[in-house]
Amino acid sequence: EAEVAQSPRYKITEKSQAVAFWCDPISGHATLYWYRQILGQGPELLVQFQDESVVDDSQLPKDRFSAERLKGVDSTLKIQPAELGDSAMYLCASSPQDRDYEQYFGPGTRLTVT
Amino acid sequence: GEDVEQSLFLSVREGDSSVINCTYTDSSSTYLYWYKQEPGAGLQLLTYIFSNMDMKQDQRLTVLLNKKDKHLSLRIADTQTGDSAIYFCAARNQGGKLIFGQGTELSVKP
């Protein structure tokens, strides 16, 4: 069964450092999402891509966060500089073109900023 | 604004039925979802229902939707210890964005 891949699974970084997360969606899925999940809360959308184009980045803190999906396949989310409040689970999800109402999540990257 | 609310905890005995409830505010929500999250893991899509349906059954799972009251429920029949997890309700708005609740922690006692 195809799955969304994410790496690393865990990341510990010091505040003011740069950190990057990688996501490989299910093969053929045109839509890719990055979510942030703070402990004890539901996921919140940070950015949505359709192929290589950003569809929605209204909740992305653009002063420190950036996301790209250059070839419309895998994607990278970067934080620079990291702050203590960025500690969270970062989840990637993808949707198939013909059923874009279905979102399938990866295992996530747990970020701890010290 | 758009909001999804769930109770935080539910405890049941193994073999009993579990019912997890959710309310949402956006009456134009197109799809409603239930996801399961085990500790340290991502979200697993359990089931979803289109807004013009009022019930969907999938093996041990039954979803009920009351669109008038904007209320969604998930019933798990014959609950097992492996069902212990956090269950998230989500509503898809007209723009295609999923709005998640804060999750209900289900504890199944043997």
pLDDT value of position B38: 95
Asked if A56 lies within 8 A of B40 by C-beta distance, the reply is no
Q: Give the pLDDT means over successive 10-residue stretches in chain A (114 positions).
A: 93 98 96 96 96 95 96 96 97 94 96 98
* Residue, of B82 and B95, whose pLDDT is higher: B82
Cis peptide before A43 (omega within 30 of 0): no
> Each residue of B81-94: pLDDT tens digit?
999 999 999 999 98
Ranges of beta strands (E only) in A38-108 are 44-50, 53-56, 65-68, 75-79, 88-95, 104-105
The SS3 of residue A72 is coil
Does residue B96 surpass a pLDDT of 80? yes
| Interface contact B110, partner A, CB < 8 A | no
The span from the CA of B51 to the CA of B70, in Å, is 10
| Interface contact A3, partner B, CB < 8 A | no
Cis peptide before A81 (omega within 30 of 0): yes
The span from the CA of B44 to the CA of B66, in Å, is 24
pLDDT value of position A112: 98
Does residue B55 surpass a pLDDT of 90? yes
Asked if A106 lies within 8 A of B88 by C-beta distance, the reply is no
Q: Which of B31, B87, B98, B99 to mutate to test the interface with A (most CBs of A within 10 A)?
A: B98
The span from the CA of B31 to the CA of A101, in Å, is 7
Residue with tokens 């990341």: A11
